[in-house]
Amino acid sequence: MSDAKLFAYLVTLAYGDVDAPTLAQVVFLSDREAEDAGSVATFLLQNAQAQPPQMPRFDWTTLKVQGSQSLSQDELRKLVAAAAKGQVGVGRVSPLKLR
């Protein structure tokens, strides 16, 4: 097990229709203490498909759409592909306290 400290952030994503986007929340794990919307958006565009153990990364298993809905694997693949094309926005990044 690594001694590296991880920081968790709750990230709000927006995608789909520009006038009425779909909102989703996902946990973003980072080795940096000071992530913001810009740094997370850059990572999302460049590395949306990052999987463990790569850091930083999105924990796509935590994704919830419109508050409580989960996506099917096919829908999730489409979302990740859209993120890699810059078609998903980052609305808010909030630090999480893990206990």
Each residue's pLDDT tens digit, 25-55: 999 999 899 999 999 999 999 888 877 778 7
* Nearest Cα residue to 15 out of 39, 47, 48: 48
Within a domain: residue 1? no
pTM > 0.85: yes or no: yes
The yes-or-no verdict on residue 8 having pLDDT over 60 is yes
In a domain, 88, yes or no: yes
How do 7-15 and 22-30 pair as beta strands? antiparallel
**Is 92 a domain residue?**
yes
Please check whether residue 2 lies inside any domain of the structure.
Answer: no
Question: Are residues 14 and 23 in contact, defined by beta-carbon separation less than 8 angstroms?
Answer: yes
pLDDT of residue 5: 84
Q: Is residue 13 part of a domain?
A: yes
CA-wise closest residue to 58 among 34, 79, 85:
79
Task: Determine the average pLDDT of the residues in 64-69.
Answer: 91
Give 69-94 pLDDT, tens digit per residue: 999 999 999 999 999 899 999 999 99
Residue 53: what pLDDT? 79
What's the burial of 13, exposed, middle or buried (CB within 10 Å: 0-12/13-18/19+)?
A: buried
Domain, as residue range, for 42: 7-96
Residue 72, domain member (yes or no): yes
Structural domains counted in the chain: 1
